[in-house]
Amino acid sequence: SAVISQKPSRDICQRGTSLTIQCQVDSQVTMMFWYRQQPGQSLTLIATANQGSEATYESGFVIDKFPISRPNLTFSTLTVSNMSPEDSSIYLCSVEGTGGGGYNEQFFGPGTRLTVL
Amino acid sequence: KNEVEQSPQNLTAQEGEFITINCSYSVGISALHWLQQHPGGGIVSLFMLSSGKKKHGRLIATINIQEKHSSLHITASHPRDSAVYICAVSRRGGGGGADGLTFGKGTHLIIQP
C-alpha cells in the first residue's frame, strides 16, 4: 500500500491569487494523478504527473491554469493559478499501487479543500 | 451519457438491511474500482476487479465483463457504513502506461439505526 499526505489540508483564498498543493508519497511511484472534486460532483482527472517529463492534461485542463511539478518519484505539486470562485473544490492526488493480476489499486491522498472568495 | 453510471444516486436503509449498489460502464476497461468516500473527503479503495467476485468482510463486489456491469453489496449494514460509494474504471489503453480513473457520480448511502 501507499501512504499519501497533502498540504495544505484546506485553504481559503482570494480571487486572482494562486495556491500550490503538495503531495508526498511514502514510496517511489511512477505515476501520480491529480483529481478535482467540485461541490456535489464526482472526481475528475486533471492530469497525470510523470517524473522527468511534462504532465499530461485531460481535456478542459491546461498547464497555464494548473501547472504541475514532479521533481522526484515521491513528490508532486499542483498549482491552481489565477483562482476564481469556480475553482473551489477538493483537490486530490492519487497513485497506483501494485495489485494482483497485473492490475493496480489506487491510493488517494486526504485531499485539499479549497475555497475561493 | 456518462461513461460510468451508478444507481441509485441516494439510498437510505435501516441497520441490518442488505444493500446493493449498481454500476454500468460503456467503455473498455482493464479494471473496475469500488471506492468509499466519507464526509471530509477521504477516499478509500474497497475493491479492484477485473473479473468475477471479491469479498472483504461484509462487502462483496461482482463484475460481469460481458454485460459491462458491476455490483457492490453490503450485508448486515451498519450506520458506520454510511458514506458515498463510488464506482470508477481504469480504461483499457493501448500504450501500456497507467491511466487515471473515470468515475461514476457516486451513491450516497445512509444507514439508519
Q: pLDDT (tens digit, 9 = 90+) per residue, A33-56?
A: 999 999 888 899 999 998 878 899
Within 8 A of B44 by CB-CB distance, chain A residues are 108
* Distance, CA of B56 to CA of B74 (rounded, Å): 10
Please state, as a whole number, how many other Cβ atoms lie within 10 Å of the Cβ of residue B81: 18
User: In whole angstroms, what is the distance from residue A57 CA to residue B93 CA?
Assistant: 16
Three-state DSSP at A62 gives coil
Average pLDDT over residues B39-57: 89
User: Residue A7: pLDDT above 50?
Assistant: yes
pLDDT at B28 over 60: yes
Q: Kindly tell me if the per-residue pLDDT of B46 is higher than 60.
A: yes
Minimal C-alpha gap between B37 and chain A (Å): 10
Residues of A in contact with B105 (CB under 8 A): 41-42
| Banded model confidence at residue A1, pLDDT cuts 50, 70, 90 | confident
Mean pLDDT, chain B, rounded, equals 90
Nearest CA in chain A to B99: A48
Give mean pLDDT, residues B80-94. 86
Q: How far is A27 from chain B (nearest CA, A)?
A: 17
Query: pLDDT digit string (tens) for A9-37?
Result: 999 999 999 999 999 999 988 889 999 99
Q: Give SS3 for B92.
A: coil
What is the residue-wise DSSP string for A8-27?
-SEEEE-TT--EEEEEEESS
Task: Determine the Cα–Cα distance for residues B60 and B54; give it in Å rounded to an integer.
Answer: 6
Q: Does A41 touch chain B (CB under 8 A)?
A: yes
Instruction: Report pLDDT for A100.
Output: 47
Q: A51-105: per-residue pLDDT in tens?
A: 878 899 999 999 999 999 999 999 999 999 999 999 999 999 999 876 444 446 7
Using a CB-CB distance cutoff of 8 angstroms, which residues of chain A are in contact with residue B97?
31
In chain B, % of residues over pLDDT 70: 91
CB A26 within 8 A of CB A1: no
Write phi, then psi, for A87 (nearest 5 degrees): -85, -5
Chain B contact for A73 (CB, 8 A cutoff): no
What's residue B93's pLDDT? Answer: 59
